[in-house]
Amino acid sequence: MSSTTKSTFTTAGRTLRGVVHARRTRRITIGLIVALLIIGVLGFFVAPPVIRHVAETQLSQQLDRPVSIRRIALNPYTLRLEADDVHFGEAAANIAKAPGGADSFVDVSRLVVRTSWTSLFRLAPVVDELRIDSPRIRLARYDADHFNFSDLIAKFSKPAPEPSTGPARFSVSNIQLENGRIEFNDRLTNAKHVIDRFALGIPFIATLPSATDIFVTPLLQARIDGSPLVLKGRTKPFATSRESEIALTLDALDVPQMASYAPASLPVAVKSGRLTTALNVRFAFAGDVPTIRIDGTADLADAVVTDRANAPLVAARAVHVKIADMQPLRNVYRFDEITLAGPEVHLARDASGAFNVSKLAPPPPKPEAPRPAEARDKTPPLDLAIHHLSIDAGKLTFDDRLLKQPVQGALTDIAITLDSFSTLAKTPARYTLKTALDKGGALDAAGNVTLSAKTADATLALDALALPPLQPYIANAVAARVVSGTLGAKLPVSVDWSKPDAAVQVGAGDVKLDSLTLVPANVTGAAPIKLASANASISKVDVAARTAALDSVQLRGLSLEATRRKDGSIDLAALAGPHEAAPEQTATRKIQKAQAAGPAWRYQIGEITLADASANFTDETSARPVKLHVAPVSVNVKQLSDDLTKPLAVDGKLTLNGKGELGVTGNVTVSPLKLALHVKGDQVDASAFEPYFGDRLNVAVTSAFLNANGDVSMSGSGKTLAASYQGDVSLTDVRMLDKATSDRFAGWKLLGLTNVKAAYGERGTDVEAARITFANFYGRVLLDAQGKLNLKNVIVSDSGQAQSVTQPAASAPVAASAPQDTAKSGPPVNMRFGQLVLQNGRVTYTDNFIKPNYTANLVAINGTIGAFGTHSTTPAPVDVTAKLAANGPVSIKGQVNPLIEKPALDVTASAHDVELTNLTPYSAKYAGYPITKGKLNVDLHYMLADDRLTANNHLFIDQLTFGDHIDNPSATKLPVRLAVSLLKNSRGEIDVNIPISGSLSNPEFSIGGLVWQAIVNLVQKAVTAPFSLLAHAIGGGGGEELNYVEFDAGSATLGDAAQKKLDTIAKALADKPSIRLDVTGRVDPKVDEPGLRSAWLDAQVKRAKVRDMSDSGDAVDWAAVKVSGDDYDKYLTKVYKSADFKKPRNVIGLTKSVPDADMKAALMQNAPIDDSSLRDLAQKRAQAVKEYFDGKIDSSRIYVVAPKLNADGIDDKGAGSRVELGLK
């Protein structure tokens, strides 16, 4: 019996003894005794069967299960109830679900309930003891949510019809359960579990206050599938503090088995884990404030947790926690030690962006009404302290499926230490972190963190972080695929989040990149971009202040290939932006937008260095792609900052296509644009840029090297752009080939300009050079079969048809040239050149217009041209010499002013000892005769002023000899041999001047055309005016009248004028031994027939006188006889009288006397003159000329040809009574 009951009866006894003496008291006492006897009888004998019957009936109805009780015993005085063999059968519905299963639900060997008499005074049940001996509970699960007791939960969880107005008032003490056993049959998993040796001790469960100060030891002890569980404690349930203490001891408890039967569905699945604890839990009240304090250790071994889809979440080989003081209700969590061995955490993000761990959290509760500030202030701050935390051999795996390309990876060998950590302490906690990435790389970090001050610092050391695994994340910023590369860094970092804008600072350190290889992701077949190494030396970065200071950035071994597409875009430009859309870009854009709202970043980089770089650039915008290989490249830029107005010191060098070097040093200002650079180029391959203009040329520039040493400046942009260059520049080793045949066309060793001063600006362009040197140059000049110079074909025609510049082109019509727009536009160009020097040049001239072809070589071209320019007032002196190969020298001297608005020149040119046999193709084509011998000397004098050209071509040809005639349809039909013979003197020399003139304003003006036309005219004179040509050859004038001599009418006697002409001809022909002379006598019947009749009459008159003189015996000289005027009339009469023709007579029949005039007329009319007389006159005239040349010209060279007996065809103004002379 308990002490409380004893005390109650003692007090009652004393009271009875105090009143026994009273009668009334005695009555009451007797009544009470009788009542007690009746209660005893009823309690001991009547109540048990009634209670048994009622209990079996009511419990069966309430539980829907058969209930039986073998025996019930009741002590009505101590209020002790005992029930033996209490049996709860299984529900019929559950038996039907599992045929053959157990029909028992719960069996209890003995149930003892001892009730306190204080229940009568408190009007609430007060149980002093509740003991359950050997309970046997059989549980079964049929499916995921249905157990054999699910109907009971559903039935008793329904709300009461009339909810209670307050909590039930009761007190149950000394709850004991001994030797219990629970059998669990999991039909869902076909597993069975047993909890045996189950013992439970609960000091009290009460809602009533109690003043008794006793200790009852709490106990929970069991064996779960063989794993012991012990929970011991003690409590003072009725003390003021109501202090309780529990010792929870677990030994390798199988956690998955227990977790699988949690009343609420867990978001995870515990696959394995053994829990061992040695915890002390203290419960107490300080006034109305409850307190729970926990200390001790807890160990978890071989834990594995997955989500419901069996995807891994968390695992650990061992977890050890040593709790120093944990007070959950006061927000105090203090640990002496936390150790995790071999932990593994698996993070996953699905395509929607949700993490696997976020899905485990329950949905957020509905927002509560805001608590009063006073209530919020009472919430104690988090007091979390960890004396030492260590994680060893940890692993964090991640599977990110948000991106188009999933990312899997892991952090391995994670080692973390944390010492002296506290959320409230002002002293910093020290931490270390070490880990490695499964795909390459390691991270070390060490530092301090002070949560109370909201500050942290770290020294980060990142070693060889492999970049290819990060490709899906990089792809959102750069459209490139990372093939290889590692990232390293060693940086001190500090963070201060005590303010709204967290302050992140990076101290002095280094960031490096090694062996980076990128491949453009959106370019098929693109070459990789490589970077051997990159190193950034950081001085300080302040994220909150948006400032960054770097000491240097060094790039080494950059290698890239870029292509400019036909649309003008550059393929590498696509690397600046993402090549595919990604869901997280929305968040990225939000961050970027937020960052953009702040102040602009201010940065300063002390030095940027690029070394050992190379690049291949292909430009497809030209007809033929331009391919440039630039290597090595080195660049150094100093003092780069966000202040673009400050000049940058630049120093760079590069080699183009493996040839030469280009160096640049100086300053560059970005805004406004301004350059001040010194450029030094040494044999830079300029031919690489030929495709930019090569499609407009019929020649290919296969070699060209640029050299420069000067200063370049540039400022402004657009219309305000100003640029200048001062220094030397040259183009060397230039070689141009015919595209069609690959034959050499032109080139030179050196084209150099010294002391160049060039400027470009709004006012125009100025170019000045002290000297231009053109050395070791050569060129091929070709006249094609159409008579066009190849120089005109250097530029592709408008039709776009390619043409050879070194070989004859197929016969084709020559396209008409489009009219050229000569109107000047844009600012003027002013040029000044001090001197042009020609050194050792040669030119090959090939004429394919003639057959066979002709080739001439002009070599050893040397000379100088003095100062000239666009505004020169003084002509430049010219002194140029050359030599025709295997021939004599050529020289050009004089003055020129070629760049003024109207160019001017006054030059003389000479060539000597030119072998004419080399010109046989020309003579065969145009003259029809090959040249077998001869030399040429030529002296030219050209003057150009006011667009008017005046020139004199002095040709001296020695021993020009033609071969046999060649039938050639293109040869002239003119008497070429005659022309040559007429021009050649007795020594075989031809000395002729050919003057020409013309206006440059005439669009058809051509110097060659003028010279050729003069030569053609010279030859034509051999036919039209050979004597004019002859007179020209001897330097005489009036040559157009030497082709005939006039005679008096009817006479064959040469007059003085005729003799003078014949003397001139004789003199000319004496120096032209190869010329033959044809003599043709000619009469004009209208003039010469009257002349012949008059001459016949004169001869008859003279003959009459000679007869008279002969009759007197005098000797007579016919030529000396002269007939005077008086004698003439005398002898005229005799002749008239002796003439035999009908004469007028008088009346007596005698000849009638008539006047002298009538006699003369009658005699002339009857003179014996006929056509034969005219022919004879013509022949006599020819003979007279021939005889005149006797002794002056070899008679074998003179031929008398048939006479002409009329005046037809005479175009000149001379008389028809003549002898015509012809040259052959």
Q: What is the DSSP string of 228-288?
A: EEEEEEEE-TTSSS--EEEEEEEEEEEHHHHHTT-SSPPSEEEEEEEEEEEEEEEEEEETT
Q: Indicate if 636 and 666 belong to the same structural domain.
A: no
Q: Indicate if 194 and 80 belong to the same structural domain.
A: yes
Task: With respect to residue 54, please indicate whether it lies within any of the assigned structural domains.
Answer: yes
Residues of the domain holding 606: 458-470+477-578+599-643
Which pLDDT score is estimated for 120?
77
Residue 14, burial from CB neighbour count under 10 angstroms (0-12, 13-18, 19+)? exposed
Number of domains in the chain: 4
Task: Tell me which residue of 856, 830, 860 sits closest to 845, measured CA to CA.
Answer: 856
| Rounded average pLDDT per 10-residue block, the chain, 1224 residues | 50 54 69 75 79 88 89 86 90 75 84 84 81 90 79 77 64 83 82 84 67 55 77 59 73 78 72 88 69 89 87 91 89 93 90 81 61 58 91 90 84 93 90 91 92 90 88 76 89 88 87 87 72 92 89 91 81 62 47 59 91 87 83 90 88 88 91 90 86 77 90 84 92 86 85 91 87 89 68 68 66 46 62 89 75 74 87 86 78 84 82 77 77 81 78 78 80 74 72 68 50 59 62 55 82 86 81 82 85 80 78 69 76 77 69 74 78 85 87 84 84 82 80
Q: Indicate if 634 and 704 belong to the same structural domain.
A: no
Task: With respect to residue 881, please indicate whether it lies within any of the assigned structural domains.
Answer: yes
Q: Which are the contacts of 1128, defined by CB distance < 8 A and separation ≥ 6?
A: 1101
Q: Indicate if 100 and 147 belong to the same structural domain.
A: yes
Task: With respect to residue 954, please indicate whether it lies within any of the assigned structural domains.
Answer: yes
Which pLDDT score is estimated for 212?
41
Q: Indicate if 863 and 936 belong to the same structural domain.
A: no
Q: Indicate if 555 and 664 belong to the same structural domain.
A: no
Last residue of a domain, one of 879, 895, 911: 895
Tokens 């980076």 map to which residue? 516
Q: What are phi and psi for residue 219, nearest 5 degrees?
A: -155, 135
Task: With respect to residue 342, please indicate whether it lies within any of the assigned structural domains.
Answer: no
Task: With respect to residue 1081, please indicate whether it lies within any of the assigned structural domains.
Answer: no
Task: With respect to residue 1153, please indicate whether it lies within any of the assigned structural domains.
Answer: no
Q: Indicate if 993 and 850 belong to the same structural domain.
A: no
- The count of other CB atoms within 10 Å of the CB of residue 1006 is 11
User: Beta strands 126-143 and 171-186: pairing type?
Assistant: parallel
Task: With respect to residue 619, please indicate whether it lies within any of the assigned structural domains.
Answer: yes
CA–CA dist 420, 333 (Å, integer): 13
Last residue of a domain, one of 866, 895, 924: 895
Q: Indicate if 768 and 871 belong to the same structural domain.
A: yes
Half-sphere exposure of 274 (CA within 13 A, CB side): 11
Last residue of a domain, one of 1016, 1038, 1068: 1016
Q: Indicate if 888 and 916 belong to the same structural domain.
A: no
Q: Indicate if 82 and 199 belong to the same structural domain.
A: yes
User: Beta strands 289-307 and 268-286: pairing type?
Assistant: antiparallel
Half-sphere exposure of 275 (CA within 13 A, CB side): 19
Q: Indicate if 572 and 691 belong to the same structural domain.
A: no
- The count of other CB atoms within 10 Å of the CB of residue 923 is 25
Q: Indicate if 633 and 657 belong to the same structural domain.
A: no
Element (DSSP H or E) covering residue 1210 = none
CA–CA dist 714, 664 (Å, integer): 14
Task: With respect to residue 758, please indicate whether it lies within any of the assigned structural domains.
Answer: yes
